A and B are shown apart, each in its own frame.
Chain A
């Protein structure tokens, strides 16, 4: 009897610990560069930075100084002890797709010390399906909204899912882009780490607000045979993690303003926070691919 009870207590305690680690420790660490002290393999770590949702041109109370918060983000990235291989911006560079907004964003982002990759958000394609955006941020070898490249032994895939929309306003990749994705991914070895960038999340995060991609199932099935798949998205201005099989999904914090948690409130409208709280929910993330199986993601907040 005593022994049985003891085991019960131990399992309660154990459950608590497992939950705490799972909730918080899975991929997140607090300090920059902690992983450097324990290289998990002989592979050189490869790192890059994701920023998202800068919304240059936004002047509403939720953040009247979006250029300042972007400036802070850029300074923090430039001050990282190990410079990333590149920075990727996962969309909504501008607020209203105005040429002046793109110009200002371009000027600010040009201060980054490393190359910048971008993909459009729905705020970058208003009225012209992204024409002004493409002029301001021309991308190499983009076909049907898809850009792919290989770097550091990783296959990178940046998709566009903000031009057409499915039921409940979900994003869409479109058949043409899906055909190219099929071609591209079938040609990759299954032990090559894959990192996918999208603006709108590629799983059903909160379909009622369109926080999902209507035709992502085909892409996810193509990704299912790979050993390591990381999907990094923007759009929802908050950090949410999710996994389906081998695929790990991460949405990013904005540098501009927060949006409500899924379903909190009636609409996905900017949330006004006190100044000191605002900076804590804005920021960027570093992503380090340590081995072919393991990706380490670190959040860096501005406050």
Chain B
């Protein structure tokens, strides 16, 4: 009896496999892409990122930056930065994907930062400014601006 059970289960599963293969069209209805062949880890694949050994900012005409936020692997690094009013923070995106630094209250909003692009923001208003990447809004950071000492 047991053998008969296995036999029928075998037939049932064969039928199932055949049915599935017959009815499958190109993109399968459930989650499509096969396991990613290459997930980009762009920091290692961007030659420009390593060409300047010094800390020199790419755009020397800008006011000197007092803080840098690196956008790397879908994260703002560091996620919390504090500067004094009047100082400038530089965002640099080293990911292959574009990102932005967008204040959730509308205080600042960068352009789209493609790979290795930078954006400088000079903060004049003291306060705590949470921001996100508007393309990947699960990325979060906070810019804290302290009042200027007089």
Which residues of A are found within 8 Å of B13, using beta-carbon distances? 16
Which residues of B are found within 8 Å of A8, using beta-carbon distances? 5
**B37–A23 CB distance below 8 A:** no
**A270–B29 CB distance below 8 A:** no
27 A-B pairs with CB atoms under 8 Å apart are A9-B4, A13-B11, A15-B12, A20-B19, A20-B23, A23-B30, A28-B25, A96-B112, A98-B112, A123-B135, A127-B109, A127-B112, A165-B134, A169-B138, A240-B31, A261-B31, A261-B32, A262-B31, A264-B36, A267-B97, A269-B74, A271-B37, A274-B37, A281-B26, A299-B29, A301-B25, A301-B26
B24 to chain A, nearest CB (A): 6
Which residues of B are found within 8 Å of A146, using beta-carbon distances? none
CA distance A268 to B114 in the complex (A): 16
**A299–B27 CB distance below 8 A:** yes
Is A24 part of the binding interface, using a Cβ–Cβ cutoff of 8 Å? Answer: yes
CA distance A131 to B7 in the complex (A): 65
The interface size bin for chain B is: 35 or more
B75 to chain A, nearest CB (A): 9
Instruction: Name B37's contact: one of A17, A170, A273, A301 (CB within 8 Å).
Output: A273
CA distance A19 to B114 in the complex (A): 45
| Count of interface residues, chain A, beta-carbon cutoff 8 Å | 68
Q: Which of B93-150 contact A (CB under 8 A)?
A: 95-98, 100, 104, 109-112, 114, 132, 134-139
A93 to chain B, nearest CB (A): 14
B34 to chain A, nearest CB (A): 7
CA distance A13 to B23 in the complex (A): 17
Is B48 part of the binding interface, using a Cβ–Cβ cutoff of 8 Å? Answer: no
Residue of B nearest to A241 (CB): B29
Knowing A23-B30, A253-B32, A281-B32, the reply to whether A126 touches B23 (Cβ < 8 A) is no
Which residues of A are found within 8 Å of B29, using beta-carbon distances? 23-24, 26-28, 239, 241, 299
Knowing A95-B98, A126-B111, A303-B26, the reply to whether A238 touches B33 (Cβ < 8 A) is yes
Is B60 part of the binding interface, using a Cβ–Cβ cutoff of 8 Å? Answer: no
Residue of B nearest to A8 (CB): B5
**B5–A9 CB distance below 8 A:** yes
Is A218 part of the binding interface, using a Cβ–Cβ cutoff of 8 Å? Answer: no
**B135–A122 CB distance below 8 A:** yes
Residue of B nearest to A253 (CB): B27
Which residues of A are found within 8 Å of B110, using beta-carbon distances? 127
Q: Please name 8 further chain A to chain B contacts, defined as beta carbons within 8 Å, in addition to the given A122-B134, A261-B33, sorted by A numbering.
A: A5-B4, A16-B12, A27-B29, A122-B137, A169-B139, A208-B138, A280-B26, A283-B26
Count of A-B contacts judged by CB separation below 8 Å = 173
CA distance A174 to B8 in the complex (A): 55
**B96–A13 CB distance below 8 A:** no
Knowing A24-B24, A239-B32, A262-B31, the reply to whether A267 touches B100 (Cβ < 8 A) is no
**B39–A269 CB distance below 8 A:** yes
B98 to chain A, nearest CB (A): 6
Q: Which of A10-55 contact B (CB under 8 A)?
A: 12-13, 15-17, 19-21, 23-30
CA distance A239 to B19 in the complex (A): 20
Which residues of B are found within 8 Å of A96, using beta-carbon distances? 98, 112, 114
Which residues of B are found within 8 Å of A65, using beta-carbon distances? none
Scoring A16, A21, A61, A272 by chain B CB atoms within 10 A of each residue's CB, the highest score goes to: A16
Which residues of B are found within 8 Å of A29, using beta-carbon distances? 25
Which residues of B are found within 8 Å of A277, using beta-carbon distances? 34
CA distance A174 to B16 in the complex (A): 46
Q: Which of B11-58 contact A (CB under 8 A)?
A: 11-13, 15-16, 19-20, 23-40
Scoring A12, A168, A170 by chain B CB atoms within 10 A of each residue's CB, the highest score goes to: A12
Is A265 part of the binding interface, using a Cβ–Cβ cutoff of 8 Å? Answer: yes
**A16–B31 CB distance below 8 A:** no
CA distance A2 to B24 in the complex (A): 36
CA distance A126 to B15 in the complex (A): 50
